[in-house]
Chains A and B, each alone.
Chain A
């Protein structure tokens, strides 16, 4: 299994439980969006970074759908539409990828407020 794609995914804090529920149904931990983020006051978002396969990247980008869950493609699309998703290959530096996505969306860590 080759993990060549850098994934940054961010969910609004109010949507976190819904996003984690889909992840749980796909076999993840239910605690994937672990990093608190803010647009300026309090925790407004939660984010994650992961290395994933090109096949998983197709799911995150909406070109494919996971199997083995009771979620319909429409339900998965509805969850995905609420997330900030950034995928990069060609050996990105994770911290740079993360920082650029946060910057582009006006997000920072709460300690940096």
Chain B
């Protein structure tokens, strides 16, 4: 582990439970096994890692071995309203088009992580007339690039090549001023000049968009859209990599809502067509685990899918047997003990081998079964759906913060994660 500072809390016993995400200046309550709360306030602007008096690490999500993805609706800087980027979520009831995976962000907020990422654009401030290829109608001077009466033509673009990793998501920001005419947009892609248009822009402002790289070099630029001519000034271009397995709504209608109440934060899919694809493909393989907070409002709905077939999905069933998975014969079987369907809970699912899968509700283990062999199916995680290629009988309810991982989850890490996510879902274990 590296990066975040370590705070040793000698007064705490073991185990430590209820450790909220700790950001600068935000009080956090830490409850020891003695049940006595200790309030800490950090002014560090970064997360802290807690050690108990014996020096053992309290396993926060970002420290757990095998962590593949971590979705954290409590960090609004990891949520974007549009499926193409745009503004961060800022209030209850807004749609979520992108939920960033924070597993590689070292416990920082997404915004803090992005701020520390390497700038990939050369001369994004246009301080000099260098680094950019200027099509017809473009000039660079006075610390900005100016497009004068350009039309929607690849020969009239301003662009440069940046180094990228295929499949990785990138965030670009830019500022438009002096806009007049029809429209403009970002263009990206492997072609020189780039051809894939971003969001249609027809007003001054600062814009944020996302694009997924298709190769080791991506051309990034700007040009006119629509018919007629467009004039504008562009400045402050920045591109940062966002490594990880991000959850992205495949359409506008598929976006779940962000909801918050009582200090808790969750996504709320509608149970009709809301779901999120994880990109790039996250193949959890045949040994994997999940821990997270859930609330299921309607019986028999799928929380997440690991493959293209419904037999590779977690179904939240009746109140008597909340979690169900398909057995070797393909029949849905309970893998958890009784729980209240409509209550927030922390769910753990572990497939420890090709012959064993089981679940835990609020820290209590259920029956194990031999899972359906879905290894021949197209693998890949998707949220709030029963298959990973479309919405299928998806969740109506709440998805609190949670993690997905590969390999073996140790008992101690599992206990820590369950405690961590119990607090975030408002559950007492």
Residues in A lying within 8 Å of B, measured CB to CB? 1-4, 27-29, 31-35, 47-51, 68, 70, 94-95, 98
Q: Which of B83, B272, B390 has the most CB of A within 10 A?
A: B272
Q: Which of A32, A34, A98 has the most CB of B within 10 A?
A: A34
Q: Are B252 and A29 in contact (CB under 8 A)?
A: yes
Q: Are A49 and B199 in contact (CB under 8 A)?
A: no
Measured CA separation A36–B183 after assembly (Å): 35
Measured CA separation A31–B254 after assembly (Å): 10
Which residue of the partner chain, among B81, B94, B183, B391, contacts A35 with CB atoms under 8 Å?
Answer: B391
Q: Are B83 and A29 in contact (CB under 8 A)?
A: yes
B245-282 residues at the A interface, CB under 8 angstroms:
250-255, 257, 270-274
Measured CA separation A23–B296 after assembly (Å): 31
Q: Are A32 and B94 in contact (CB under 8 A)?
A: no
Chain B residues in 8 Å Cβ range of A32: 251-253
Chain B residues in 8 Å Cβ range of A95: 270-272, 298, 396
A21 CB to nearest chain B CB (Å): 14
Measured CA separation A94–B253 after assembly (Å): 12
Residues in B lying within 8 Å of A, measured CB to CB? 81, 83, 91, 93-95, 183, 199-200, 202, 226-227, 250-255, 257, 270-274, 298, 390-391, 396
Q: Are A94 and B272 in contact (CB under 8 A)?
A: yes
22 A-B residue contacts at CB 8 Å? A2-B93, A3-B93, A28-B252, A29-B83, A32-B251, A32-B253, A33-B253, A34-B251, A34-B273, A34-B390, A34-B391, A35-B272, A35-B273, A35-B391, A49-B253, A51-B93, A68-B183, A68-B200, A94-B270, A94-B271, A94-B272, A95-B396
A25 CB to nearest chain B CB (Å): 9
Measured CA separation A1–B253 after assembly (Å): 16
Known: A34-B253, A50-B253, A70-B226. A1 touches B391 (CB 8 A): no
Chain A residues in 8 Å Cβ range of B274: 49
Measured CA separation A72–B227 after assembly (Å): 15
A34 CB to nearest chain B CB (Å): 5
The residue of chain B having its C-beta at the shortest distance from the C-beta of A67 within the complex is B202
Measured CA separation A33–B273 after assembly (Å): 9
The 7 A-B residue pairs whose C-beta atoms are closest, nearest first, are: A94-B270, A48-B253, A29-B251, A49-B272, A50-B253, A32-B253, A31-B251
Q: Which of B95, B227, B252, B274 has the most CB of A within 10 A?
A: B252
Chain A residues in 8 Å Cβ range of B81: 1
Chain A residues in 8 Å Cβ range of B254: 34
The residue of chain A having its C-beta at the shortest distance from the C-beta of B93 within the complex is A3
Measured CA separation A29–B200 after assembly (Å): 13
Q: Are B270 and A49 in contact (CB under 8 A)?
A: yes
B203 CB to nearest chain A CB (Å): 10
Known: A1-B81, A3-B257. A68 touches B202 (CB 8 A): yes
The residue of chain B having its C-beta at the shortest distance from the C-beta of A29 within the complex is B251
The residue of chain B having its C-beta at the shortest distance from the C-beta of A27 within the complex is B200
Chain A residues in 8 Å Cβ range of B257: 3, 51
Chain A residues in 8 Å Cβ range of B396: 94-95
Chain A residues in 8 Å Cβ range of B272: 35, 49, 94-95, 98
Chain A residues in 8 Å Cβ range of B250: 29, 31, 34
Measured CA separation A2–B258 after assembly (Å): 11
Measured CA separation A71–B174 after assembly (Å): 29
Chain B residues in 8 Å Cβ range of A4: 93
Chain A residues in 8 Å Cβ range of B199: 27
A80 CB to nearest chain B CB (Å): 16
Measured CA separation A35–B275 after assembly (Å): 12
Chain B residues in 8 Å Cβ range of A94: 270-272, 396
